[in-house]
């Protein structure tokens, strides 16, 4: 099976990012199998960046 990827990014609100991820996961429930998750972050003087990358496989044809 081919893996796909979904990327979430924020430079401001972690709460909104969490909400977007949870909404996406809920909409995909029963349709995908998450195979791995990676979180990366970086900071500058004025911004904090977070990227969450989710690899998954479709479980439905």
Condensed to tens digits (0 to 9), the pLDDT of residues 18-37 reads 999 999 999 999 999 999 99
Q: Which domain holds residue 8?
A: 4-58
| Helix, strand, coil percentages in the chain from 3-state DSSP, rounded to 5 | 25, 50, 30
What 3-state DSSP class applies to 35? strand
With vertex at residue 48, the alpha carbon angle to CA 39 and CA 20, rounded to the nearest 5 degrees, is 55
pLDDT level of residue 48 (50, 70, 90 thresholds) = confident
CA distance 5 to 46: 29
The predicted pLDDT at position 52 comes to: 97
How many other CB atoms sit within 10 Å of the CB of residue 60? 6
Q: How many domains in the chain? A: 1
pLDDT level of residue 12 (50, 70, 90 thresholds) = confident
């Amino acid at each position: 099976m081919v893996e796909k990827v979904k990327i979430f990014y924020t430079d401001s609100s972690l709460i909104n990012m969490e909400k977007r991820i949870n909404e996406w996961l809920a909409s995909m429930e029963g349709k995908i199998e998450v195979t791995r998750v990676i979180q990366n972050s970086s900071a500058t003087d004025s911004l904090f960046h977070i990227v969450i990358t989710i690899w998954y496989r479709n479980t439905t044809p």
